[in-house]
């Protein structure tokens, strides 16, 4: 799918602010894909569609999670997680994108997962560090992302886990597993 058509489809689903965020994620994902030799077109497409379901109603997303037999434990955690797996489903069914690598990059951009692919890491980190993001720790992760994608991912996850813990919010198990797997992998490299 061509970029302009994809952006048009996504713009209809998002607020102007979220659309600007999507443009930032797209540019950042392309930069990271070039830096780490990921598929540029897939990175661009996944970035454009990563928030496709962001503004769907909670009821619609809940029903899709149930009807499509997605992990039921999603329903017990923050609803902010829902738009990623639901988005992958809707991008497939409404837009017609069938590439599993792209769909998985969308599916796991909020939670992560063990053994993330390069494309999944690119989209996760791009979403975290795009230029419109302003919060404690983001500048550090932006700098790290220029040198080591896995370390940038670790710092992104660490910051997210600490943020949720400080707010006394439950942390989705896949997020903890992703963090642990990356840490153990880094230790194994030493």
Alpha-carbon gap, residue 162 to 49, rounded angstroms: 27
| Cβ contact 13:55 at 8 Å | yes
Q: Binning pLDDT at 50, 70 and 90, where does residue 1 land?
A: confident
| Cβ contact 27:43 at 8 Å | no
SS (H, E, C) 80-112: HHCHHHHHHHHHHHHHCCCCHHHHHHHHCCCCC
Chain segment 111-158, per-residue pLDDT in tens:
999 999 999 999 999 999 999 999 999 999 999 999 999 999 999 999
Q: Binning pLDDT at 50, 70 and 90, where does residue 190 land?
A: low
The 8-class DSSP code of residue 73 comes to G
Q: Is residue 108 exposed (0-12), middle (13-18) or buried (19+ Cβ within 10 Å)?
A: buried
Alpha-carbon gap, residue 160 to 175, rounded angstroms: 9
Chain segment 54-85, per-residue pLDDT in tens:
999 999 999 999 999 999 999 999 999 999 99
């Amino acid at each position: 799918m061509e970029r302009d058509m994809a952006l048009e489809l996504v713009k209809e689903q998002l607020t102007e602010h979220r659309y600007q965020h999507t443009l930032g994620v797209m540019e950042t994902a392309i930069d990271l894909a070039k830096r780490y030799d990921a598929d540029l077109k897939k990175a661009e497409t996944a970035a454009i569609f990563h928030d496709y379901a962001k503004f769907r109603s909670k009821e619609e997303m809940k029903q899709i999670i149930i009807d499509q037999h997605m992990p039921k434990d999603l329903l017990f955690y923050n609803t902010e997680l829902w738009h990623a797996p639901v988005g992958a489903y809707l991008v497939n069914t409404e837009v017609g994108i069938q590439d599993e690598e792209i769909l998985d990059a969308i599916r796991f951009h909020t939670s992560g997962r063990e053994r993330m692919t390069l494309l999944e890491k690119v989209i996760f980190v791009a979403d975290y560090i795009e230029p419109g993001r302003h919060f404690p720790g983001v500048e550090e992760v932006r700098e790290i992302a220029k040198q080591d994608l896995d370390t940038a991912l670790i710092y992104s996850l660490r910051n997210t886990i600490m943020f949720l813990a400080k707010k006394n919010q439950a942390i989705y198990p896949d997020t903890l597993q992703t963090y642990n797997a990356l840490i153990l992998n880094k230790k194994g490299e030493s």
